[in-house]
A and B are shown apart, each in its own frame.
Chain A
């Protein structure tokens, strides 16, 4: 099975900051990676797929990139609504898997 290692587990930042979250796959998955935003008590929300394609309605301050098996999610200028937990998910195999999550907190 493909393991996804996400870092950091927690990230403290302020409104307006630029932040980056990293997800590393245990083997090559091409660009088969999605990112989700999850707030307590709500349904997770798809942000991005194919490593860097924004889902409909997702603000352009979110971006994604890939280098080999390392994927990054960048938020260029944090807004108050962005404080949440973020997960990566690989879909290169039928056995799907998530990273452990990154909780983005207000500093």
Chain B
């Protein structure tokens, strides 16, 4: 069974850093691009970053560019999101999602259940 399980969330002060992880199982991880998507409380979904199977192409939303870094370790079937200079507006549930192809820029056929990140002093 395909599974995506996020971890690493929690409460953090503004300006600090946090690293999210997403562990994948049930499929060949390095055959697919992967993404991070978030949902701010009371708001809709926001795509924030994606990368190709080989990490050669990485794209960020303007809202996180320069502060967040997406990466992957295919040997560990894991996706990561390093979040620096966190702001209160980064408070959200963060989801990892699987692309339908090795190349990014598509839609998502599997999602994790999400992990809460709260940025507050």
Given contacts A46-B110, A89-B108, 7 further A-B contacts (CB under 8 A): A43-B4, A44-B45, A45-B111, A46-B107, A49-B100, A95-B59, A95-B61
B17 vs chain A, min Cβ distance (A): 24
A65-107 Cβ-contact flags toward B at 8 Å (1 or 0):
0000000000000000000000101010111111111000000
Q: Which of B8-58 touch A at CB < 8 Å? A: 35, 43-47, 50, 57
Does residue B105 face the partner (Cβ distance < 8 Å to A)?
Answer: yes
Q: Which of B42-101 touch A at CB < 8 Å? A: 43-47, 50, 57, 59, 61-62, 95, 97, 100
Could you tell me which B residues sit within 8 Å of A by CB distance?
4, 35, 43-47, 50, 57, 59, 61-62, 95, 97, 100, 104-114
Q: How many residues of A contact B (CB 8 A)?
A: 24
Does residue A21 face the partner (Cβ distance < 8 Å to B)?
Answer: no
Does residue A25 face the partner (Cβ distance < 8 Å to B)?
Answer: no
A1-13 Cβ-contact flags toward B at 8 Å (1 or 0):
1000000000000
CB atoms of B107 and A99 under 8 A apart: no
Q: Which secondary structure characterizes the binding site on chain A?
A: loop
CB atoms of B109 and A91 under 8 A apart: no
In the bound assembly, the distance between CA atoms of A33 and B66 in angstroms comes to 28
CB atoms of A98 and B47 under 8 A apart: yes
